[in-house]
Chains A and B, each alone.
Chain A
Amino acid sequence: MDATTQHEGDAIGMSDKLAEIMQSKAEHQGCGTSGGSGKASCGSSAGQGDLPTEIWEKVKNHPCYSEEAHHHYARMHVAVAPACNIQCNYCNRKYDCANESRPGVVSEKLTPEQAAKKVLAVASTIPQMTVLGIAGPGDPLANPEKTFKTFELINKTAPDIKLCLSTNGLALPDHVETIAGFNVDHVTITINMVDPEVGAKIYPWVFWKHKRYTGYEAAKILTDRQLQGLEMLTERGILCKINSVMIPGINDNHLVEVNRAVKSRGAFLHNIMPLISSPEHGTVFGLNGQRGPTAQELKALQDRCEGEMNMMRHCRQCRADAVGLLGEDRSAEFTTDKIMAMEVNYDLESRQAYQALVEEERVAKVAAKQQELESLAGEQSDIKLLVAVATKGSGLVNEHFGHAKEFQVWELSTAGAKFVGHRRVDLYCQGGYGEEDSLETIIRAINDCHAVFVAKIGGCPKADLIKAGIEPVDQFAHEFIEKSAITWFKDYLAKVKSGEIEHTVRGDAEIRQGALISAA
């Protein structure tokens, strides 16, 4: 196992195979905003595109299944499922810090009754909350009674809320009928391998049929059960998202094979996430120095897998008790003590009225982009570049540079603007970074971008960004992101053409590791 290459700053080593991927991404045909490439125009679809209506209805207000929806709709997870039936080298069940944001971590466990109350309380406070997921902190299907009791209660009290769950898949085939029975129409399976040799490096053991299996045998059981469960779900028309953790040197290239395997079994969306690995997490990978991928490595792999399948690029790897829009966490407002004391008035009508407004906003955004895109039609250029955007949501350039906890990254080309991911730039509890350090952190996180779009920016950071080769752009404050990005890109191309500026290729960027200081 690779125990040496912990990545620091910009000094990033890259294997030959990854270099090949980077090469191949040049040929890649992006789904972009143009659509019409013969497939559902990726997880970042701005509209129905070529999705069948019944699928569009299922995903259009699901923040995890539609990139576009995640600007407008919120989700919540309830932590009713603490037990797990497998062990993963990137997970440590002993770790629980309230300031930590990553999968598997949770501050409070809930009973199904508490969870149902919490869902009502959140749905009443946050009308755009449309999705309830059970994602742990263990595995929902290793706690079937608690998981299904929670679904049953929510079906009764808040039937408009979509139910979903996220599982490792080991117990999935045993529960497919029950899942279908509760109208759970979104299931996420974490599949990190389809080759037990690879799996043996990720999973030390699985507990199945009253026995602990280890090594190759464990991984073989797991992959067989995962793929069987996936087939059973898609046969029943349940949408499946596949999560995969990209672990450089272990499954990075193998994930292309995983992508093929899940695609052929009917998975709807593939979400390749970077390994989160840091010694203080106490995970096997954290302790043995296994590094996570760089931003460029991750994007190259996502691009490579994108051919015929939707890729999710907007995942924030949230906690098993997260509440709110992706990228924000309002769970601190809804602790058990607080929700139990809350008077909840579940008003379906006002929720629907609010959501109708959200729909109007979305339509306006799509129209604005369409107009701008048409004006790009005549442009001819091979230039493809990334820009970062500071946004609070709703698809607008509406966040101050200094307040941004994350940036959206968009790839611009003559095909249009394509959303390709997020970069976290928040401060971390173990570091104690000051103001200056935090600016360096931001520059490292968006170092592969040519420009950063903000609603507002101070003079000092502006100068430092320019020095780092990143153009701060504030003239599109409070305008639609895609429209603004395309306008800027047209101008950029014109300047390159006239010789005013020279197009250069940017370097790699860093994916932040470690604990998130809670936003609340």
Chain B
Amino acid sequence: MALKIVASQCTSCSACEPECPNVAIFEKNGTFVIDPAKCTECIGHYDAPQCAAVCPVDDTCIIDNSYPRYQPPA
């Protein structure tokens, strides 16, 4: 139920951090990471995940398949 940031691709530009409606993004060891417990894939907030939309490097903010997809509350 979350996106993740591919650390090797992250330029640490910080563009994603303020865009996250769930305040799930923070800096760790020089790159940014997403707290999967807070991430809602922006469902209910915006049409598309904000981190992926603003990220300057393609395929860096991606769906983390180790979690089930986010299910919005009914």
Chain A contact residues, CB within 8 Å of chain B = 82-85, 87, 93-94, 109, 137-138, 142-143, 207, 210-212
Contact = CB atoms under 8 A, between A and B. Distances in A.
Interface in B5-63: 9, 11-15, 18-19, 46-48, 50, 53-54, 56-57
Contacts of A84: 13, 15, 56
Contacts of B48: 211-212
B52 to A, nearest CB: 8
A84 B11 CA distance: 12
Interface of B: 9, 11-15, 18-19, 46-48, 50, 53-54, 56-57
Secondary structure of the B contact surface, majority rule: loop
Nearest to A213: B53
A138 B57 contact: no
A93 B57 contact: yes
A210 B18 CA distance: 11
A140 B56 CA distance: 16
25 contacts: A82-B11, A82-B13, A82-B14, A82-B15, A83-B14, A83-B18, A83-B54, A84-B13, A84-B56, A85-B15, A85-B54, A87-B56, A93-B13, A93-B56, A93-B57, A94-B9, A94-B57, A137-B13, A138-B13, A138-B15, A142-B15, A207-B15, A210-B46, A211-B46, A211-B47
Nearest to B19: A210
B23 to A, nearest CB: 15
Contacts of A82: 11-15
Nearest to B17: A83
| Closest 4 A/B residue pairs (Cβ) | A83-B15, A212-B53, A82-B13, A93-B56
Nearest to A209: B46
Contacts of B56: 84, 87, 93
Given A93-B11, A211-B47, 10 more contacts: A82-B14, A82-B15, A83-B15, A85-B15, A85-B54, A87-B56, A93-B56, A137-B13, A210-B50, A211-B46
Contacts of A212: 48, 53-54
Contacts, number: 43
B13 A207 contact: no
A212 B57 CA distance: 13
B53 A207 contact: yes
Nearest to B54: A207
A207 B52 CA distance: 11
A508 B18 CA distance: 48
Nearest to B9: A94
Contacts of B12: 82, 109
A318 B19 CA distance: 29
- Choose among A85, A94, A143 the residue with the greatest number of B CB atoms under 10 Å from its CB: A94
A146 to B, nearest CB: 9
Contacts of B47: 211
Contacts of B11: 82, 93-94
Contacts of A143: 14
B53 A83 contact: no
Nearest to A86: B56
A92 to B, nearest CB: 9
A138 B47 CA distance: 25
Contacts of A109: 12
Contacts of A93: 11, 13, 56-57
Contacts of B15: 82-85, 138, 142, 207
A491 B18 CA distance: 64
A383 B46 CA distance: 64
A143 B54 CA distance: 13
Contacts of A87: 56
Contacts of A137: 13
Nearest to A143: B14
Contacts of B46: 210-211
A207 B61 CA distance: 15
A137 B12 CA distance: 12
Contacts of B18: 83
